[in-house]
Amino acid sequence: QVRLLESGGGLVQAGGSLRLSCAGSGLTFSNYALGWFRQVSGKEREFVAAISQSGGRTGYADSVQGRFTISRDNAKNTMFLQMNGLTPEDTAVYYCAARASGLSIVLFTTTRDYAYWGQGTQVTVSA
């Protein structure tokens, strides 16, 4: 059974940083493309960042480009999202997602692309 577990969320002041982690079990991480999404209550879940199966390609939403960095450690079945320069607009529940991929450089950026989801971790940025 595939499971994804996010951690690292919390409360931070504007301008601060957080590092989210996503630990996977029940899957061989290196066979999966991964992504981060976020959701504010009452709004649709939105794409934040994606990383290809190999880790060789990354992609970001315009709103986080230059502030957030996605990375992965396949040996440890873990993905990360380093978030710098946080603003109150980054407040949301952050979810990690995974999908099997035989294409090592493809990025997936929509929710329907992903088969597996974590339970989410709350990030709150105070003004």
Model confidence at 103: pLDDT above 80: no
Model confidence at 88: pLDDT above 90: yes
Model confidence at 60: pLDDT above 90: yes
Chain mean pLDDT for the chain: 96
Structure token digits, residue 44: 């649709």
Average the pLDDT over 62-77 and give the result: 97
pLDDT score at 41 = 95
The string of pLDDT tens digits covering residues 25-59 is 999 888 999 999 999 999 999 999 999 998 899 99
Model confidence at 13: pLDDT above 90: yes
Average the pLDDT over 87-96 and give the result: 98
